[in-house]
Amino acid sequence: MDIGRIHTPVMLERTLALLAPAVEADDAVVVDATLGMGGHSLALLERFPNLTVIGLDRDPDALEIARERLAPFGDRARFVHTVYDGIAAAVRSEGFDEVQGVLFDLGVSSLQLDRAERGFAYSKDAPLDMRMDFTRGRTAADVIAESSEDELRRIFHDFGEERLAARYARAIVRARAEAPITRSAELVAIITAATPVAVQRQGHPAKRVFQALRIEVNEELSVLERAMPAALDTIAVAGRIVVLAYQSLEDRIVKRVLQAAASSSAPAGLPMELPEHRPQFRLLVRGAELASESEQAENPRAKPVRLRAAERVRRPS
């Protein structure tokens, strides 16, 4: 496998620049909460020679590749098999009370998309799996087989923002009564047949359904809801967090949590802000930053990214 060819880290230089003021000092620690194949971690370890990186991933394949790729850095690269809402326990397990940086590169990884047998890609026929950790949990085929029509409609609407959610749920229930739906090509065919021709011209009709199933299978939004506050709690004063989100549902969670952390907690009507009400974080970018046009042209996976970042300015008293 040519890892360099299939995995180009998104907004790499911007991410390094945002983390740099917090991680340049000796003995700094960064948690790469979505390690993947280790592209961001590799760059961090090369750029900052005194840095330790704790890489988290739920995908055993990704961890195996990252271990091999980052082996030259010895004990400066640590690895924990966990979902990223387990960040606090992972940091403690490696012997640290707090860290100077946290990086989230959310969404499905290049490894998962490019290995057809994982079932994430609607463009490649494979078993309907979609588990980021293929050793446990329900598959996408299980969700398709076991969910009621109303549950399927909710999944497609809430997690895929799919306008034709009801139509697709109805078509799936009708099709599975005839035969089990176990492969991605079968599901794509059902969705395509249920899609008006005019809508098909607007893009691949299965895109949002596959996104929704992936989010449901991996509980991505509920995990992120827990992971963001947990990550902020691990960050030392002057430490920083950078988050790369690739779809609006993730970005809304990140935006809400960071804005709350960077806002005063003083009750309305107080004549002055007491020190204990001051914000614990400050935002480092205005709104969400996008990848440059040149990066989007070179790396199509950078097109939807939204980057947000913040720095801890104080601990609660």
Please report, in range form, the residues annotated as the binding site: 38-40, 57, 84, 105, 112
Per-residue tokens: 187: 């599901």
Q: Which SS3 state, helix, strand or coil, does residue 261 take?
A: helix
Nearest-angstrom CA–CA distance, 157 and 168: 10
Residue range(s) in the chain whose domain bears CATH number 1.10.150.170: 131-218
Nearest-angstrom CA–CA distance, 118 and 60: 12
Write b or e for each residue in 155-186: b if 16 or more Cβ atoms lie within 10 A of its Cβ, otherwise e: bbbebbebebbbbbbebbbebbeeeebbebeb
Q: Convert the pLDDT of each residue in 237-259 to its tens digit.
A: 999 999 999 999 999 999 999 99
| CATH architecture observed for domain 131-218 | Orthogonal Bundle (1.10)
pLDDT over 60 (residue 1)? no
C-alpha of 101 from chain center: 16
Q: Which SS3 state, helix, strand or coil, does residue 57 take?
A: strand
Please report, in range form, the residues annotated as the binding site for S-adenosyl-L-methionine: 38-40, 57, 84, 105, 112
Q: What single-letter DSSP state applies at residue 55? A: E
pLDDT band of residue 113 (cuts 50, 70, 90) is low
Instruction: Please tell me the class of the 3-111+220-312 domain.
Output: alpha beta
pLDDT over 90 (residue 282)? yes
Cα–Cα distances in angstroms (integers) from residue 87 to residues 48, 100, 224, 229, 296, in the given order: 22, 14, 11, 10, 30
Q: Which SS3 state, helix, strand or coil, does residue 63 take?
A: helix
pTM: 0.89
Nearest-angstrom CA–CA distance, 155 and 143: 10
Residue range(s) in the chain whose domain bears CATH number 3.40.50.150: 3-111+220-312
pLDDT over 90 (residue 2)? no
Q: What is the mean pLDDT of residues 208-221?
A: 94
Spatial contact of 58 and 133, defined as CB atoms under 8 Å apart: yes
Taking Cα atoms as reference points, which of 236, 219, 290, 285 lies closest to residue 258? 285
Q: What is the mean pLDDT of residues 87-114?
A: 88
